[in-house]
């Protein structure tokens, strides 16, 4: 643990500081958007969007190598793929409700498959594992700026439309009858979800990112009676998981994304167990 | 075709004698695929009337409500709500849904829920102080103002129902549409509901949908029976027999020949 702190303040080693800053920044978006996703019960849609991101990353790697497109970074590919997946899933969900889950799983797997195929055909060695499960060594200063910009954008929109989003999550039909453009807000929520996912991909990866959507909000749900409280508590929890995960994983050289998620999972189980014990006592 | 709405134009809105109906169904039919749910339904509702819609499950009550709200479009016929088409009339309708498919643990306070009645189509929806005031008045009217800060999920069925009516009232509606307001309420609370609805009907038009036969009482002015066809009765004519007939009970006293009696205005 002391090794973690000495490395953190070592001016010659930047990656751990970057990872920590990125994680803390992303936690705010995860707290706000994750709470919406959990109360609206669309974590499976978030899962599909996250997996589609691999397709975007793979395509970005492939095309940037092949055609020398310097601007097409994996991060850009991830943002484009995530937004595209969010809009497709949203439109399918609005217009063809009965086939929703089939379409979502089709996107889920084909997004991943496309990513793996693109990566295989990209010259040079690419480790899909670092995208699937995160790799804090890969965070650059440029990534940090992108994360900061996306974070500000997502959190601002999430807070600005709080009342509308709350109504859409709670009772969509009533909101529509009040003249709220519920389809627009639903699509907006999915797009914000997509951008939030991109924020954490470097740290916890595509596969594990859903854990940071659902677990902090699920724990926070036990201690909050209003949505904004849930957002605040899950932001703090998410920050705690990131710091604790990085600190615990650093010394024994454990994969940091997996450690963060494992700590979140344990804290969720403890909350549930505590709740059950309390119920038994009463 | 259906866009050609024929509304009676009231040139002098100040005269009491010519009041525009709140709600007009003109030969409305509706079918899900090939199954007709409502056939040739025509009726009108006047301002400050208290109307009860009854009928068996699957008889078309919910369809009728959805048509009034513009959530469904009629296959044939025209519906006029508050002088315009249902979708445009929405801001002036206060609606309490029958089921709320919500998670018991949804983190939302009573005030949060009731305040949704103040929502509008504006892009940025922050609630003003006036919105809060209107919401609190509505909660007060339903006798649940002291619960405003409580989590909505922690309320009893009856309290929740009151909050949802308060939410509908917070819309400042001209027409209050209540779908099964006594669905989750025990009989003692039900009587309180009847009184509340009676008081409300003095101020605005109230349409209550119910499968609850006890609800059809002297408290409402008119009863609309829905079982694919619609029959209308002034309450004075409503007897247990009619209702039982509607529901396929033992008694077979058919009184539906009263339909659209003196109150059934024929426009144009």
- Of B126, B170, B175, B125, nearest in space to B144 by CA: B170
B68, B177 Cβ separation under 8 angstroms: yes
Number of Cβ within a 10 Å radius of residue A201: 29
Between residues B180 and B228, the one the model is more confident about: B180
- The yes-or-no verdict on residue B119 having pLDDT over 60 is yes
pLDDT of residue A178: 92
Question: pLDDT digit string (tens) for B237-260?
Answer: 555 555 555 555 433 333 333 333
Question: Measured between alpha carbons, how far is B176 from B117 in angstroms, rounded to an integer?
Answer: 12
Between residues B33 and A206, the one the model is more confident about: A206
Is A170 in the B-facing interface, judged by CB distances under 8 Å? Answer: yes
pLDDT of residue B138: 93
- Looking at the domain assignment, is residue B62 inside a domain? yes
Q: What is the 3-state secondary structure (H, E, C) of B80-129?
A: EECCECHHHHHHHEEEECCCCCCCCCCCCEHHHHHHHHHCCCCCCCCCCH
- Of A150, A234, A239, A231, nearest in space to A197 by CA: A150
What residues of chain B lie within 8 A of the CB of A227, using their CB?
107-108, 112
- Looking at the domain assignment, is residue B267 inside a domain? no
- Of A25, A40, A8, A9, nearest in space to A230 by CA: A40
- Of A199, A192, A189, nearest in space to A144 by CA: A199
Question: Any idea of the CA torsion for B164, B170, B176, B181, to the nearest 10 degrees?
Answer: 10
Question: pLDDT digit string (tens) for A194-233?
Answer: 999 998 888 889 988 999 989 999 999 989 999 999 999 9
- Looking at the domain assignment, is residue B111 inside a domain? yes
What residues of chain B lie within 8 A of the CB of A41, using their CB?
103
* Tokens (6 digits) for A95: 């217009």
- The mean predicted confidence, pLDDT, of chain B is 76
Question: pLDDT digit string (tens) for B159-199?
Answer: 888 899 999 999 999 999 988 887 767 777 777 777 787 78
Q: Mutating which of A226, A229, A272, A279 best tests the B interface, going by the most B Cβ atoms within 10 A?
A: A226
What residues of chain B lie within 8 A of the CB of A178, using their CB?
90-91, 116-117, 119-121, 171
- The yes-or-no verdict on residue B2 having pLDDT over 60 is no
CATH of the domain at B157: 3.40.50.300
CATH of the domain at A84: 1.10.3470.10
Residue B253 belongs to domain spanning: 23-258
- pLDDT-above-70 percentage for chain B: 72
Number of Cβ within a 10 Å radius of residue B102: 16
Question: Measured between alpha carbons, how far is A278 from A268 in angstroms, rounded to an integer?
Answer: 15
pLDDT of residue B219: 62
- The yes-or-no verdict on residue B89 having pLDDT over 60 is yes
Min Cα–Cα distance to chain A from B126, Å: 7
- The yes-or-no verdict on residue A164 having pLDDT over 70 is yes
Question: pLDDT digit string (tens) for A78-87?
Answer: 999 999 999 9
Mean pLDDT across A21-46: 93
Confidence of residue A168 (pLDDT cuts 50, 70, 90): very high
Asked whether the beta carbons of residue A173 and residue B167 sit closer than 8 angstroms, the reply is no
A180, A167 Cβ separation under 8 angstroms: yes
- Of A207, A221, A216, nearest in space to A242 by CA: A216
- The yes-or-no verdict on residue B12 having pLDDT over 50 is no
Q: Mutating which of A37, A43, A161, A163 best tests the B interface, going by the most B Cβ atoms within 10 A?
A: A163
Residue A146 belongs to domain spanning: 2-281
Confidence of residue B215 (pLDDT cuts 50, 70, 90): low
What are the two backbone dihedrals, phi and then psi, of residue A69, each rounded to the nearest 5 degrees?
A: -90, 95
Between residues A235 and B223, the one the model is more confident about: A235
B50-54/B175-179 β-pairing? unpaired
Helix (H, G, I), strand (E, B) or coil at B36: strand
Min Cα–Cα distance to chain A from B124, Å: 7
Question: Measured between alpha carbons, how far is B104 from B82 in angstroms, rounded to an integer?
Answer: 35
- Looking at the domain assignment, is residue B14 inside a domain? no
A67, A126 Cβ separation under 8 angstroms: no
Question: Measured between alpha carbons, how far is A266 from A138 in angstroms, rounded to an integer?
Answer: 27
Number of independent structural domains in chain B? 1
Number of independent structural domains in chain A? 1
What is the predicted ipTM? Answer: 0.85
Is A159 in the B-facing interface, judged by CB distances under 8 Å? Answer: no
Question: pLDDT digit string (tens) for A88-147?
Answer: 999 988 887 667 888 889 999 999 999 999 999 888 878 888 888 888 888 888 889 989
Q: Mutating which of A31, A39, A177, A224 best tests the B interface, going by the most B Cβ atoms within 10 A?
A: A177
What residues of chain A lie within 8 A of the CB of B113, using their CB?
170
- Looking at the domain assignment, is residue B80 inside a domain? yes
What residues of chain A lie within 8 A of the CB of B112, using their CB?
166, 226-227
- Looking at the domain assignment, is residue B46 inside a domain? yes
- The mean predicted confidence, pLDDT, of chain A is 90
- Looking at the domain assignment, is residue B5 inside a domain? no
């Amino acid at each position: 643990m002391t090794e973690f702190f000495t490395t953190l303040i070592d001016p010659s080693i930047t990656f751990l500081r970057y990872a920590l800053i990125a994680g803390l920044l992303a936690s705010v978006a995860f707290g706000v958007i994750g709470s919406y996703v959990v109360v609206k019960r669309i974590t499976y849609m978030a899962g599909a969007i996250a997996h589609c991101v691999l397709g975007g990353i793979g395509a970005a790697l492939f095309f940037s190598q092949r055609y020398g497109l310097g601007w097409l970074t994996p991060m850009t590919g991830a943002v484009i793929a995530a937004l595209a997946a969010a809009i497709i899933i949203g439109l399918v969900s609005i217009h063809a409700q009965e086939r929703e889950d089939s379409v979502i799983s089709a996107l889920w797997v084909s997004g991943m498959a496309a990513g793996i195929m693109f990566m295989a055909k990209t010259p040079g060695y690419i480790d899909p594992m670092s995208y699937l499960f995160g790799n804090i060594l890969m965070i650059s200063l440029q990534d940090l700026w992108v994360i900061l910009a996306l974070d500000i954008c997502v959190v601002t929109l999430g807070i600005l439309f709080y009342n509308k989003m709350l109504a859409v999550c709670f009772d969509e039909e009533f909101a529509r009858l009040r003249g709220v453009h519920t389809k627009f807000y639903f699509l907006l929520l999915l797009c914000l979800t997509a951008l939030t996912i991109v924020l954490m991909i470097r740290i916890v990866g595509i596969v594990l990112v859903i854990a940071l959507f659902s677990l902090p909000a699920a724990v926070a749900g036990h201690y909050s009676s209003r949505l904004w409280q849930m957002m605040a508590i899950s932001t703090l929890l998410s920050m705690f998981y990131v710091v604790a995960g990085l600190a615990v994983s650093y010394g024994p050289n454990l994969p940091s994304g997996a450690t963060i998620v494992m700590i979140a999972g344990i804290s969720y189980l403890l909350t549930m167990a505590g709740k059950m014990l309390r119920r038994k006592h009463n | 075709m259906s866009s050609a709405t024929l509304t009676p134009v009231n040139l002098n809105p100040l005269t009491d004698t010519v009041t525009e109906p709140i709600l007009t169904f003109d030969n409305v039919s509706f079918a899900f695929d090939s199954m007709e749910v409502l056939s040739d339904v025509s009726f009108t509702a006047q301002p400050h009337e208290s109307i009860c819609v009854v009928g068996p499950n699957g008889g078309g009550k919910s369809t009728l409500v959805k048509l009034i709200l513009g959530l469904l479009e009629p296959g044939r016929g025209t519906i006029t709500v508050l002088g315009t088409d249902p979708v445009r009339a929405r801001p002036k309708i206060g609606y309490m849904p029958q089921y709320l498919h919500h998670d018991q643990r949804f983190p939302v306070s009573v005030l949060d829920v009731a305040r949704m009645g103040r929502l509008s189509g504006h892009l940025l929806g922050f609630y003003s102080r006036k919105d809060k005031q209107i919401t609190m008045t509505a909660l007060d009217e339903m006798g649940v103002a002291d619960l405003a800060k409580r989590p909505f999920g922690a309320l009893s069925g009856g309290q929740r129902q009151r909050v949802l009516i308060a939410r509908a009232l917070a819309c400042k509606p001209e027409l209050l549409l209540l779908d099964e307001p006594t669905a989750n309420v025990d009989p003692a609370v039900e009587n309180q509901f009847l009184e509340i609805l009676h008081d409300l009907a003095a101020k605005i038009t109230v349409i209550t949908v119910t499968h609850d036969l006890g609800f059809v009482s002297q408290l409402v002015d008119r009863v609309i029976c829905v079982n694919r066809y619609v029959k209308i009765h002034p309450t004075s004519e409503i007897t247990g027999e009619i209702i039982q007939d509607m529901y396929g009970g033992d008694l077979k006293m058919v009184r539906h020949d009263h339909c659209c009696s003196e109150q059934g205005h024929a426009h144009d």
